[in-house]
Each structure stands twice: as structure tokens, then as C-alpha cells.
Chains A and B, each alone.
Chain A
Amino acid sequence: GENVEQHPSTLSVQEGDSAVIKCTYSDSASNYFPWYKQELGKRPQLIIDIRSNVGEKKDQRIAVTLNKTAKHFSLHITETQPEDSAVYFCAASISNFGNEKLTFGTGTRLTIIP
């Protein structure tokens, strides 16, 4: 089955700086890559996603890049703010229907230092 590795497990960034979280996946048939943010004690929420026919996607301060050849994808957060502090999960799916059989990474705890 699919295996998703996520690095780093923890990340501390000065407020205003950029943060980058990286994930690799094992199954070259994977075609859907969402990112979820989970604040302490709360539910995961989708923040951005990308499909395999796209190399990069941006949404304000958040961007995701995908390298299909290397089988890795990354989350980039620019101009970080205290409210960006949370655990971020990457995920990958080989289903034609996107959300089926999503395999999650183990998460990155991001701390923004004021």
C-alpha cells in the first residue's frame, strides 16, 4: 500500500519567516495530495490540495508544490503568523475519487515564535 513520510516532525519558525514541510510518497499512481491543519484539541481542516496534473498551487500565504518524478510534495507558508501554529498533515491518495484511501503522513508540529 501507499506510504507517506513527512518531515520534519517539529518545526519552529520566527514570526514573519517562511516554513516548509516536505512529504514523500511511495506509490507512483497517487494522484491527489491534500494538506490538513489541526489546531490543538480541534479537528483537521483542509487548507490546500493539489492533483497530479498540476505542479504548483497557491492560496494567499500558502503554496503546495508537487514533483511527480521524485514523488515528493511540499507545503510552503510565507509571512508566518502566530495563528499558523498547529500540526500539519500531508496525505496522498491513489483513488480516482480523491478522498478514498487517503494515507496521511505522521504530522509536523509547527510553532511560530513571536
Chain B
Amino acid sequence: DSGVTQTPKHLITATGQRVTLRCSPRSGDLSVYWYQQSLDQGLQFLIHYYNGEERAKGNILERFSAQQFPDLHSELNLSSLELGDSALYFCASSVDRAGKLFFGSGTQLSVL
């Protein structure tokens, strides 16, 4: 167990809908990263938050947004869902911006 908690583990929804994925980092970790893993594209970096502030963006769609709350948990919001958004979404945390990454077990999103 990495200490990073992601909920829910599985999510099935329909096209056009909106979902929220939640991540609780390891105790003491200030950085939270979100990644998308699909079969054909591997692990894609989406966004990074450090101590409540957005620090870096990757190839994150405008339909996606995220935030990190004062208690350091983070949420990834996906809206106007499309079939192609079906993927495994990982959250990872680290103690700062350079420390070892610890991944959560992921949320498997299926858009039907």
C-alpha cells in the first residue's frame, strides 16, 4: 500500500456526463499529480498541484479541471465525457516537487 488513496476504484458513466475523481495523498506529502493511462498512449501527465497551487500542466483537456484543497486532497473533474476519455486515472503524491512519486491504485473510468 503506497498510502495514496483514490476513490472511486471504478466509475461507469455515459457520454456527456460529468464525474469527479478524488485523491488523498500520503500523510505529509504536499505534491499531487494526476496521470491518465490508456492502452495506446501509456502514462500521460495531466496536472500537478503543490500545497494548493497549480504548478504544471500537461496535455490536459479544457473539459478537465482539478484542484487541491487546504487539507491537500485533490479532485479531478471530467466533464462532457467522450468515449475516448475511458482510461485509468492515477493520482500520485510526493513530499515536495522533487521527491519520489507514490501512485494510488487508480480509478478506472468507463464512458459508455
Instruction: Verify B100–A46 contact, CB threshold 8 A.
Output: yes
> Which of A43, A91, A107 has the most B CB atoms < 10 Å from its CB?
A43
Which one of B31, B58, B98, B103 contacts A44 once the chains associate, using CB atoms below 8 Å? B103
A100 to B97, CA, bound (A): 7
Instruction: Verify A99–B58 contact, CB threshold 8 A.
Output: no
Is there a chain B Cβ closer than 8 Å to A104's Cβ?
A: yes
Chain B residues in 8 Å Cβ range of A103 = 45
Q: Main SS of the interface on chain A? A: loop
Instruction: Verify A95–B56 contact, CB threshold 8 A.
Output: yes
Instruction: Verify B42–A105 contact, CB threshold 8 A.
Output: yes
Chain A residues in 8 Å Cβ range of B100 = 46
Is there a chain A Cβ closer than 8 Å to B74's Cβ?
A: no
Which one of B42, B96, B99 contacts A104 once the chains associate, using CB atoms below 8 Å? B42
Instruction: Verify B101–A99 contact, CB threshold 8 A.
Output: yes
Please give the distance in Å from A49's CB to the nearest CB on chain B: 8
Chain B residues in 8 Å Cβ range of A98 = 97-99
Q: Name the interface size band of chain B.
A: 20 to 34
Instruction: Verify B42–A99 contact, CB threshold 8 A.
Output: no
Please give the distance in Å from A106's CB to the nearest CB on chain B: 4
Is there a chain A Cβ closer than 8 Å to B15's Cβ?
A: no
Is there a chain B Cβ closer than 8 Å to A102's Cβ?
A: yes
A104 to B37, CA, bound (A): 10
List 13 other contacts, CB 8 Å, given A42-B105, A43-B2, A99-B94: A43-B103, A43-B104, A43-B106, A45-B2, A45-B103, A89-B43, A95-B97, A97-B96, A97-B97, A100-B97, A101-B45, A102-B33, A107-B42
A residues bordering B, Cβ < 8 Å?
34, 42-46, 89, 91, 95, 97-107
The 9 closest A-B pairs by CB, nearest first: A97-B97, A98-B98, A43-B103, A104-B43, A106-B42, A100-B56, A97-B98, A44-B103, A101-B56
